[in-house]
């Protein structure tokens, strides 16, 4: 079974870089450049690891997580935050319980791969 990862970020360079890194080690990677695109992928049946940027226009990461939870899509998925801030701002305490980790940008590719592999141990 292919392990699926969705990267949700409004920065196209982050989407490309993360996709290349994770696909090179065998993950199936979905790229969403907005919270709405992420929700659409979830409606289409995505299950797996979601790497969520927090600072996005229109619908930020916290609002996207809320929609994932309210839509019942959180089952069989794990959310990790990718943030440019050293200390992540937890804007939504009620949604923080659905986040397993915070990854600071910039990150080393090998650390990202290691983290994503670890997240999958929580899904099985």
Instruction: Give the model confidence (pLDDT) of 41-93 as tens digits.
Output: 999 999 999 999 988 889 999 899 999 999 999 999 999 999 876 655 566 56
- Name residues whose C-beta falls within 8 Å of residue 26's C-beta, 6 or more positions apart in sequence: 2, 3
- Domain of residue 20, CATH code: 3.40.50.2300
With CA atoms as reference, report the closest residue to 23 among 5, 44, 41, 38. Answer: 5
User: What band does 3 get if pLDDT is binned at 50, 70 and 90?
Assistant: very high
Predicted structure pTM score: 0.92
User: Mean pLDDT for the chain?
Assistant: 90
Is the pLDDT at 30 greater than 90, yes or no?
yes
Q: Determine the Cα–Cα distance for residues 124 and 108; give it in Å rounded to an integer.
A: 26
**Strand, helix or coil at 22?**
helix
Q: Which structural domain, as residue segments, surrounds residue 76?
A: 4-123
pLDDT on residue 104:
86
- 81 - beta bridge partners? 52, 102
Structure confidence at residue 113 (pLDDT): 96
**Domains held by the chain: number:** 1
Distance CA(85)–CA(74), nearest Å, equals 25
């Amino acid at each position: 079974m292919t392990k699926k990862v969705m990267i949700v970020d409004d920065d196209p360079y982050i989407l490309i870089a993360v996709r290349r890194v994770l696909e090179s080690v065998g993950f199936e990677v979905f790229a969403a450049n907005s919270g709405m695109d992420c929700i659409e992928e979830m409606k289409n049946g995505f299950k797996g690891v979601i790497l969520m940027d927090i600072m996005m226009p229109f619908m930020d990461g916290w609002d996207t997580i809320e929609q994932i939870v309210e839509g019942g899509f959180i089952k069989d998925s794990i959310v990790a935050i990718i943030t440019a801030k050293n200390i992540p701002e937890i804007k939504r305490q009620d949604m923080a319980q659905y986040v397993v980790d915070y990854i600071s940008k910039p990150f080393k590719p090998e650390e990202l791969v290691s983290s994503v592999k670890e997240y999958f141990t929580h899904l099985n």
